């Protein structure tokens, strides 16, 4: 049965001090089925305390999103960056395993370097996957925005090199590159027919093609993505697993708009019920 998750990144950010203890405050008020935990770089120094805290909440957290900066280190490359990326990645894996997650989302490329030296990202993938598998985790590469080519091109390249690779597909990221419609194209049916896509981020987008000024994660209905068509596709392929809402729910004050988030979960349930 499909599970609708809420990213902890929707409610924790710089305006509220990236205080992970806010999860305890907000989680009981959210009408989702579980959570996707987003790791931040500022938490490594207290990762043991963070892990014990999350375990104490006894929440359903089937997905962990790896700290995004790891992908940037891989993109930059070089022995020291690779070594540090793998070290930090293993910390993410250990946390994910201990809190009961099964899936691990990664930005394999990230930051300003992005996909400029994509050979670095291709080289790093099997090392990362090997680490994840030691912790019993399914590593999912996200269709992250690019500044050289596009995510779908790289997904194809990675699948050619690693035929059993798994992905997480983000609607906003795809729309940014005008690639969401390609999800429905028979040419790319192998993505779901061969079981590559294992998770979805369901976010709206309001900008144009590679419109960097509008690369914001919007709630469903606040952009121009055709979610009627997207969920028709979900029904057609018989996907019945996890979806995550990532729309930012706080402003400059750090106060979280719980009503907006609960409305997102309700909208997705309505789409899935059709």
Tens-digit pLDDT profile for residues 9-61: 999 999 999 999 999 999 999 999 999 999 999 999 999 999 999 999 999 99
Which residues, given as ranges, of the chain have pLDDT below 50?
A: none
Q: What is the pLDDT of residue 274?
A: 87
| Residues paired with residue 8 on neighbouring β-strands, in sequence order | none
Q: What is the pLDDT of residue 143?
A: 98
Tell me the domain boundaries of the chain.
Answer: 3-273
Query: 145: alpha, beta or left, given left = phi > 0 and alpha = psi -120 to 50?
Result: beta
The predicted structure's pLDDT at residue 132: 98
**Which CATH number does 3-273 carry?**
3.20.20.150
Residue 32: exposure state from Cβ atoms within 10 A (0-12, 13-18, ≥19): buried
pTM of the model: 0.97
């Amino acid at each position: 049965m499909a599970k609708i998750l809420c990213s902890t990144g929707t409610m924790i950010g710089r305006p509220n001090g990236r205080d992970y203890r806010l999860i305890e405050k907000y989680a009981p008020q959210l009408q989702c089925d579980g959570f996707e935990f987003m790791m931040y770089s500022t938490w490594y120094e207290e990762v043991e305390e963070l892990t014990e805290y999350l375990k104490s909440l006894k929440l359903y957290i089937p997905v962990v999103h790896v700290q995004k900066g790891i992908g940037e280190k891989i993109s930059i490359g070089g022995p020291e960056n690779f070594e540090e990326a793998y070290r930090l990645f293993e910390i993410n894996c250990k946390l994910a395993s201990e809190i009961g997650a099964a899936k691990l989302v990664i930005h394999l490329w990230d930051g300003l370097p992005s996909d400029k030296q994509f050979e670095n990202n291709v080289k790093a993938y099997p090392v990362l996957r090997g680490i994840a598998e030691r912790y019993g985790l399914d590593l999912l590469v996200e269709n992250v925005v690019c500044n050289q080519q596009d995510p779908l091109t790289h997904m194809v390249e990675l699948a050619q090199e690693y035929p059993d690779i798994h992905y997480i597909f983000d609607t906003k990221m795809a729309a940014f590159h005008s690639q969401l419609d390609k999800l429905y194209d028979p040419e790319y049916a192998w993505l779901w027919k061969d079981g590559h896509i294992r998770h979805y981020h369901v976010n709206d987008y309001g900008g144009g093609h590679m419109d960097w000024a509008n690369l914001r994660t919007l709630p469903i209905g606040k952009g121009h993505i055709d979610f009627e068509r997207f969920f028709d596709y979900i029904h057609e392929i018989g996907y019945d697993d996890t979806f995550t809402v990532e729309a930012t729910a706080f402003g400059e004050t750090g106060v979280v708009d719980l009503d907006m988030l609960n409305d997102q979960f309700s909208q997705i349930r309505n789409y899935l019920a059709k």
